[in-house]
Amino acid sequence: MTDLAADIQARFKGTFAEAMGIRFVSVAKDKVVAEIDMREGLSTVGGTMHGGAMMAFADTLGAVGAVMNLPAGASTTTLESKTNFFAGCNAGVVRGECVPLHVGGRTSVWQTRLYNPAGRMMAQIIQTQIVLMPK
C-alpha cells in the first residue's frame, strides 16, 4: 500500500466502504486500484458477488479518483453511473482498477473495471462525478 493509499484508507474508517472491506492498493490522480474479498455478506442467494456490491465498490473508486483531482475546497458526488456485467465471482479477491476518461472543471468521468481472481473482467462501470464548489 502506498502512503497516499494508506491516507485514503484512513479517511474511510467507519464508513460503508470500510464495512464492505475495500482495501486501497494504490491511489494517484490518474489511477486508483483497490481490492475486496468476496464473502457471503456481498453475495446473491446463488453465491456470486451481488451487482450492487460491484457497483458500490466501483463508485467508491471513482469518487476517490475524482477527489484526487478536485480544486482546493471543492467536493464531489456521483452524478451518473452505468454498469455492464460480464462474469461472476464466488470466492477470492476482486480487484478494481479505475482510470479517468475525462477530468474537467465541472465534471470528471471514471472507468472502473473489476476482475475476479482468474483475471476475468467481471464488470465495467463508467460514472460521472460532479465538482461541488464551496459556497
Say what the pLDDT of residue 80 is.
Answer: 97
CA dihedral 2, 126, 16, 105 (to 10 degrees): 70
**Predicted confidence pLDDT, tens digits, the chain (135 residues):** 778 899 999 999 999 999 999 999 999 999 999 999 999 999 999 999 999 999 999 999 999 999 999 999 999 999 999 999 999 999 999 999 999 999 999 999 999 999 999 999 999 999 999 999 988
Number of domains the chain is built from:
1
The pTM of this model reads: 0.95
Say what the pLDDT of residue 3 is.
Answer: 86
- Asked if residues 85 and 122 have their Cβ atoms less than 8 Å apart, the reply is yes
Q: The domain containing residue 83 runs over which residues?
A: 3-132
